[in-house]
Chain A
Amino acid sequence: MIDEGKPIFQQIAEQIENDIISGAVAEESQVPSTNEFAVFHRINPATAGKGVTLLVDDGILYKKRGIGMFVAAGARERLIAKRRDSFRSDFLLPLIAEAEKLDISPAQLTRMITNEGEAS
């Protein structure tokens, strides 16, 4: 689950974000503790803590003293907005670059996307 490409704490933050976006973790509900993340992912607790802190700094998680970490209200909407911003550079541009390499025209690419969308 942990890969070498990105800093581990960033991967932890992204996994929590994914759970919030998918609704697996609801707003105002509690997320696992830093230690639970560390043991589950087999990583150093300090690294897990850094991932959680990243989300606290972004206002996605907040701390209830003596209880634990909770998902902030409105977190899901803000994460979706953030992911949409990076959708172009993360997914669209590489897709177009690969299509060009394979001589797939923009029109063909559009058709492929439409067909896949209808199929699923």
Chain B
Amino acid sequence: MGCGILWNALCFRLFFVVFMDYFIELLFSGLTRGSIYALIALGYTMVYGIIGLINFAHGEIYMIGAFTAFIVATVLSIYGFPILAIIVIAGVAAAVWSSAYGYTIEKIAYKPLRHAPRLSPLISAIGMSIFLQNYVLLAQTSDFLPFPALIPDFEFMEPVAHIVGSSDLVILITTAIVMMILTYIIKFTRVGKAMRATAQDRTMAMLVGINVNKIISATFIIGSALAAIGGLLIASHIGQINFYIGFIAGIKAFTAAVLGGIGSIPGAVLGSLVLGLTESFATGYVSSDYEDVFAFSLLVLILIFKPSGLLGKAETKKV
């Protein structure tokens, strides 16, 4: 830092401030990235928690949410709607449309295979993912589309904008709220109770009068709506969408869900944040060339010592 050999308090302070600033910047960058993963990872983990299926088409639901929000937002901005109205209407439209997709996918591709061996629905999910990607490619476009910046630059954020931007803040807060609402639903409502019962033992849940099909559909609808909201926020943050965004984001979010313990709601968020922070610090202090190397080395390490993930429950075999 140009301090020379003379080591004095001022110099130390200068070094400290410069060092800490960069650390805090990277911290927020990692938290934002983690929250982005979390918004998608929550859907993966919910579905897995209930029916033990890795819904590979979830990334595509996120992508469809982003496309729906794009179309609605573009149309509304032509008619000169205020920005807040655009966010709300586009968000609701995307959530409803994506939920419809999620619901339909479950009915078409997973429900008929519910009693099939575990691999069959997995392959069906991969097929669904490829199908939806190509469907959007053909029905929309293969080009990158400019997504409007729906989250404006808030004025009160300007002094710290170089560290944490407005859209970062919105994503962080949304992820926190969504996680709390989900935890509330699952812990304290009737639907949540039914979900937990279905997760524990599907046959028993049916015997005590729970409509298992309805509960599974509800899970898909909630998960898809979350992905759609994630799609809107993330696309607005990055500023571009195409048919392929769901695949890459989906893989990372899936990794985060496994890291945190698939099936666990707080686990998905924790796993996402750990993954996001690892990537951010690896880029910041080592090299972005090794970003993925660090992220996946961490995954392997954690799974070696805690095979069910950070907050996952160990699967007990009923003998």
Our verdict on whether A and B bind, yes or no, reads no
Interface residues of A (CB under 8 A from B): none
Interface residues of B (CB under 8 A from A): none
